[in-house]
A and B are shown apart, each in its own frame.
Chain A
Amino acid sequence: DIQMTQSPASLSASLGETVTIECRASEDIYSNLAWYQQKPGNSPQLLIYDANSLADGVPSRFSGSGSGTQYSLKISSMQTEDEGVYFCQQGLKYPYTFGAGTKLELK
């Protein structure tokens, strides 16, 4: 199975700060990567697909980039509502696999 390694495991950011979360795949996943946000008590919600495409309704402060085995999610200006856990997911090979998550808190 393809292993997805996320970093950091947790971080805190101030309002307006730029946040970057990294995801590394154990092999080349050719940009078949999605990012999700999960708030406490809720199901995950799609933010980014195909490594850099913004899902419908997602604020433009979210962006994704990367290629090969290295990918990142950037929040350009941290907002209160961005607190939550962020997961990456590879969609190249079955079984699809997820990163362990990054917990983002407001400082």
Chain B
Amino acid sequence: QVQLQQSGAELAKPGSSVKISCKASGYTFTSYYISWIKQTTGQGLEYIGYINTGSGGTNYNEKFKGKATLTVDKSSSTAFMQLSSLTPDDSAVYYCARVNYDYFDYWGQGVMVTVSS
């Protein structure tokens, strides 16, 4: 069965970076893009961008350019998202999701990132 297993919760200081992972199983990893989505109570669900798991090509929401960097390791079927120059506004739950055409058919369990001094 398709599974996206994300890494654990992160507590980070303002100005630092975090890198969270999303390990896929149960399907051919390079056949589907992976997207990342931010969820906060105030802003709801926000699309960050996607990575082409075959080529490594990326597309970012303008709002997250310079904030998020998406990478992939095909050998381990894992996608990564690094968040840099963290501020309290980056505190959120971050999901990876498998892209099927123009929708998200499988989601990871989410990673809570808390930015606090």
Footprint of B on A, CB under 8 Å?
32, 34, 36, 42-46, 49-50, 55, 87, 89, 91-92, 94-101
Output the least CB separation between A94 and chain B (Å).
6
Number of interface residues of B (CB under 8 A): 22
Chain B residue at smallest Cβ distance from A44:
B107
Contacts of B103 in A (CB 8 A): 34, 46, 49-50, 89, 91
Chain A residue at smallest Cβ distance from B60:
A95
Contact residues of B: prevailing secondary structure:
strand
Contacts of A95 in B (CB 8 A): 47, 49, 61-63
9 sampled A-B residue pairs with Cβ under 8 A? A32-B102, A36-B104, A43-B107, A50-B103, A87-B44, A89-B103, A94-B47, A95-B49, A96-B47
Output the least CB separation between A6 and chain B (Å).
10
Contacts of B105 in A (CB 8 A): 46, 49, 55
Contact residues of A: prevailing secondary structure:
loop
The answer to whether B110 touches A43, judged by C-beta atoms less than 8 angstroms apart, is yes
Contacts of B11 in A (CB 8 A): none
Residues of chain B from 72 to 113 with CB closer than 8 A to chain A in the complex? 95, 100-110
Chain A residue at smallest Cβ distance from B104:
A46
The answer to whether B102 touches A92, judged by C-beta atoms less than 8 angstroms apart, is yes
Contacts of A36 in B (CB 8 A): 104
The answer to whether A98 touches B44, judged by C-beta atoms less than 8 angstroms apart, is yes
Does residue B25 face the partner (Cβ distance < 8 Å to A)?
Answer: no
- Docked Cα-Cα span, A55 to B107, in Å, equals 14
The answer to whether A34 touches B47, judged by C-beta atoms less than 8 angstroms apart, is no
- Docked Cα-Cα span, A42 to B107, in Å, equals 10
Does residue B9 face the partner (Cβ distance < 8 Å to A)?
Answer: no
Q: Which of B95, B102, B106, B109 contacts A96 (CB 8 A)?
A: B102
- Docked Cα-Cα span, A86 to B107, in Å, equals 15
- Docked Cα-Cα span, A46 to B35, in Å, equals 14
The answer to whether B107 touches A45, judged by C-beta atoms less than 8 angstroms apart, is yes
Q: Which of A42, A55, A94 contacts B61 (CB 8 A)?
A: A94
Output the least CB separation between A55 and chain B (Å).
7
- Docked Cα-Cα span, A92 to B101, in Å, equals 10
